[in-house]
Structures are given as C-alpha cells and as structure tokens.
C-alpha cells in the first residue's frame, strides 16, 4: 500500500488489491470512452473545460465525490490534471514493479524449472 498525494488530496492506494484494481480499470475505461466524445474543434476554452471534466469525473469516480475539487483547487487547468495523472500512473508502475519483484522471488523462471526437470 502506498500513500498518494496531489495538492489538498491524500489517500492510501493498494495496487495489489484486486477490488481496487477492478475499480481503477473500470474508471479508466470510462475515462477513455468519455475522452473520445470531447469536441476536437471549437473554442479552446470549451475544449479544455470538456477535457478537464473527463479527468474530474475519473478522480471523483475512483476516490469519491469532491476529490477533483481538492486536487485541482477549482482551477480548470489541463496542466494540473496531466501532472496528477502522470503522478498516479508513475505510482502504479512503481508498485507493479515492486509487486513483480516480490512475486518473482517465489516463482522460479521457466529455464530454471526446465533444468530441474532434466536433472531428475
């Protein structure tokens, strides 16, 4: 389990918890769907607000209503949202690496298992 903080929001996240990962994956898939509906042409301000809403909805779904307000302090800045996403996904990647190395200690690689069978 790891502590994740962005601006005024802080929470514990366990990327090895299947229930959390199921929720994370569902929220991410929904975010991808919603991002495809964001207008590609028009006023930059309207497009930016629509993009910000996609991120806001992702964090509110994942961590609870009001989360995006704490994270982004009422600002409609894509820069803040991209930094938050990078931070969250960097944490996920580092936790995945940590988990893999932990599990690999107890799972011999295929070459080692084959060698053990030949020596019998």
**Residue-wise DSSP of 51-66:** HHHHHHHHHHHHH-TT
Neighbouring CB atoms inside 10 A of 16's CB total 15
Range of the domain at 84: 2-118
Whole-Å CA distances, 62 to 11, 87, 91, 94: 11, 15, 15, 19
For residue 49, what pLDDT is reported? 97
Higher pLDDT, 89 or 98: 89
Q: What integer best gives the mean pLDDT of the chain?
A: 90
CB 8 within 8 A of CB 71: yes
Over residues 86-91, the mean pLDDT reads 95
Tell me what percent of the chain is helix, strand and coil, each rounded to the nearest 5: 65, 10, 25
Instruction: Please tell me the total count of domains within the chain.
Output: 1
């Amino acid at each position: 389990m790891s502590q994740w903080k962005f601006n005024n929001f802080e929470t514990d996240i366990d990327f090895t918890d299947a229930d959390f990962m199921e929720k994370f994956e569902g929220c991410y898939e929904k975010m991808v769907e919603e991002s495809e509906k964001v207008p590609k042409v028009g006023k930059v301000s309207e497009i930016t607000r629509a993009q910000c809403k996609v991120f806001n909805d992702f964090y509110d779904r994942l961590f609870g209503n009001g989360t995006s307000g704490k994270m982004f302090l009422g600002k409609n800045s894509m820069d803040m949202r991209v930094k938050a996403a990078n931070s969250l996904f960097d944490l996920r990647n580092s936790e995945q690496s940590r988990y893999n190395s932990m599990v690999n200690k107890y799972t011999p690689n295929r070459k080692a298992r084959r060698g053990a069978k030949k020596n019998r």
